[in-house]
Chain A
């Protein structure tokens, strides 16, 4: 589910853009360190593969069919860092060339699918992928990756105040579970085909890194639960939440104070403050991105 622009409230997309920028920077560094140079074309071609894979339909009976989403499959075959980079590239190309997903909402889509969904899919594989429950683990990973992404997207929409009556919510959660089950089955079918073509395609889970990954995965799942909880507690959206906690009025005074001394009539209009805050947010995102890049580069140089 690619969220277009215009659906998310400004605090939601701005926050997620700020969160996505350093996450993607970190994943890109990790992927670059972990892979030899020959993998650069590989990651791009694998992105094209995920695009093309949507053309192959998996018949599920009743005349309907589904197709691969691919986050868990990429994590199993390329490793989580490289999978995150490929998914980010896919989402960026989809947003730019196919108008599938927004530009301001790109951070939200990256967090939902490329980071949280991918990690939720990789987590069971990293923990139990080498054991005797391998097949079930692969299935569970595909299931979790789609379900996590979908629930995150849904809760972001609800926090932003998009109307979601209880009946609609139940139906869409049901649909998400069905498509998540399908993704698990498709991922398993492809993994079995890959194992019989060439076992080297599949990365074996490393032992030892499980604890850190487990922590990240649990954090992701916690965020999902928290998001749903907040969204259902405040069905009218973040505006109400901000009003209830007084954040909105504080933010207003914060924004007004620096401009209060100037007798510029136009600056007092609400929209200019809002647009200014939005642009300042973009500036902050840019700054955070540059800073993280610099820090990581220095860390690597040391």
Chain B
């Protein structure tokens, strides 16, 4: 599955992986803002930005082709609107939509594939995002797999028990059966949550998560953010001055 690969990538040991989660988050935000506010000379800028991201991916020791392919998940949604813009006679806007959404997705992909999600959320907690929300997000990510697997089993059971001959007609019974399946999945998830909480209490849960890797904002992180700012802003200035 998609996020398993990201999880594996995020446990690398490159210099980029070792940076503090907050530094990488700030760098990505700088990149996203510079890209989102760009209006002039967009095409050369997007080529340069793609180069920056590709260099970052290679420096982080990630497979470039696979990363480029993964970021393309935004394209189906974008393609619809790009097609509408093309039909409305605005080819430049169509190109901007495709370029901006793809490059933004790729930048976020670089962030999450060099930072394990618990570390990323831990970094956000130290910048003041409500801890309660981040804990919910942690649990969500942790149990995504468990619950998805149960849903897969239930889907298989549902398909095995119901024929597919009457696909073409609205079938009230099948609709209700799908509703029942999700009701059962809901009940099972509820029971899981209870068990999880009991297990947490048994291990002495104090109301917040403890993380092993106590990474701190070091001098290298300051340099990293400054470097990202200079490269991203400098590229844009250079491109816009040159065109």
Contacts and interface: CB of A to CB of B under 8 A. Distances in A.
A65 to B, nearest CB: 9
For the residues of A in contact with B, the DSSP-based class is helix
A162 B85 contact: yes
B133 interface: yes
Contacts of A192: 176, 179, 183
A61 B168 CA distance: 5
Interface in A152-174: 157, 161-165, 168
Nearest to A13: B36
B100 interface: yes
Interface string B5-16: 010000000000
Contacts of B231: none
A290 B128 contact: yes
Nearest to B159: A57
Interface stretch (A33-41, A224-232, A241-249): A33-41
B196 A6 contact: no
Given A46-B189, A48-B140, A103-B104, A61 B171 contact: yes
Contacts of A45: 139-140, 143, 147, 189-190, 192-193, 196
User: Interface size bucket, A side?
Assistant: 35 or more
Contacts of B140: 44-45, 47-48, 51, 86, 89-90, 93
Contacts of B184: 193, 197
A51 B148 contact: yes
Interface in B74-96: 74, 77-78, 81, 84-85, 87-88, 90, 93, 96
The 5 closest A-B pairs by CB, nearest first: A44-B139, A6-B100, A189-B179, A193-B183, A5-B104
Interface string B194-237: 10110010000001000000000000000000000000010011
Contacts of B104: 4-6, 102-104
Interface string B120-149: 100000011110110111111111101110
B1 to A, nearest CB: 10
Nearest to B240: A271
Nearest to A187: B179
Given A49-B147, A52-B151, A7 B101 contact: yes
Interface stretch (A24-32, A143-151, A210-218, A250-258): A24-32
Contacts of A57: 155, 178
Nearest to B201: A38
Contact of B167 (A59, A89, A293): A59
Contacts of A60: 170, 175
B182 A53 contact: yes
B185 interface: yes
A5 to B, nearest CB: 3
Contact of A96 (B96, B99, B112, B142): B112
Nearest to B192: A45
A24 B134 CA distance: 12
Given A28-B130, A28-B133, A290-B128, A162 B143 contact: no
Nearest to A51: B144
Given A97-B6, A163-B88, A85 B147 contact: no
Contact of A52 (B148, B175, B187, B236): B148
B73 interface: yes
A275 B38 CA distance: 8
Interface of A: 2, 4-7, 10, 13, 24-25, 28-29, 31-32, 37-38, 40-49, 51-53, 55-63, 68, 77, 85-86, 88-90, 92-93, 95-100, 102-104, 157, 161-165, 168, 185-186, 188-190, 192-194, 196-198, 201, 266, 269-272, 274-275, 277-279, 282, 286, 289-290, 293
A279 B133 contact: no
B30 interface: yes
Contact of A293 (B130, B138, B142): B130
B43 interface: no
B36 A49 contact: no
Nearest to B138: A44
B60 interface: no
28 contacts: A5-B35, A6-B103, A13-B36, A41-B139, A44-B143, A45-B193, A47-B137, A51-B147, A52-B147, A53-B151, A55-B151, A85-B132, A85-B136, A93-B144, A95-B108, A98-B3, A102-B104, A104-B32, A165-B84, A193-B179, A193-B184, A194-B187, A196-B183, A198-B187, A266-B237, A274-B39, A278-B34, A286-B128
Contacts of B37: 10, 271, 274-275, 277-278
Given A6-B78, A48-B140, A165-B88, 20 more contacts: A5-B104, A28-B130, A40-B197, A45-B147, A46-B193, A47-B139, A48-B146, A55-B155, A68-B182, A89-B133, A97-B112, A97-B117, A103-B28, A162-B97, A186-B179, A190-B186, A192-B179, A194-B183, A269-B241, A290-B128
